[in-house]
Structure 1
């Protein structure tokens, strides 16, 4: 009997990360959950039979401790990330930009760099990076986030070149509007403003993205799903959506 495969999910305390951990566990993976909110990932780990370890992707020492806490890895889902603020460039808040670049770009680099040798050694490794449709478009008042997601996407796509011919696959998933804590975090806890993002439309749910990730990582080893853009039917662009009356 083949040994159980291991999947690592960052940003697993809520939203897409938590849903992905649940989905991969249901597909037979042992899931290692990483996030700063340890009480959340510990509870979820108990529910799905996984393992939880604290992880702050903006802290190199935290990444090192996290990656040293487990052994072989078959799948890595880089999900940790997010947005802070919505100021135009002329009023840019450097601390917001710094957080977004540390979390989305450098965080993804740190975890991927640490685990790549093990992913290759597995003989069928897979790196999934959850970026955003913001990696494809620019829009007003979103430059800090869109620039970080463009950079994270470029980082991920570069890996495909650097490891071509090795037994590791790379899939980028670019979600559109997903109803999670994303907007609540972006707008510093303003729930009314966050709710307006999805007002009058039917947004995606975290489970929708998790199912896409689950499908990608369970394809035969010769199949690499390079880039998957997922939007709600009502969504046209990063900022345009049909709003039902």
Structure 2
């Protein structure tokens, strides 16, 4: 299946009206498909694999905002640090420190989202509520020491359960929004403005519950082979 231009234009218009950022999930899709959406005005693209992202970065226009949305290993950060726009899945404090270290080498500030585990599946990564609060406290302490200068934690990301149960999905999105609001209300946390939740099957529900950024792949590029 080629790029669904009609779906992109409809979804993009809807999200722009709601002031929600669309991240087109382009993993395992050829550079030509990404270029097609780029030519229609899309600039935010999400990738899951470091090597694939690094290769596409070299092939495609420099003003693309690349989002890393997969599980990121600390030893792979160095490959995307020179150019990545936003890292969605920061699921440990160790990873945040490594991103800061690699960003410093390129004199960049890399924006990050802390990933929160809200789904029923145990396979998904992320902080629980207690770990999230501990991480936020540690970030504040490091900032007071003028450290962590090359990362900026700008929000939260979460993946809901893989289910058709609308009430379960809504419950998980509400919970993530509650945690997001709690973090955003911290008086020192002035850059917290992004809540990334919602994908092709549930993005409308996620937006109803307060999402500011959605990650959509199959509706735009077709199902993965």
Which structure has more relative contact order (CA 8 Å, sep 6+)? It is: 2
Give TM class, smaller chain: 0.3 to 0.5
TM-score (norm 2): 0.37
TM-score (norm 1): 0.35
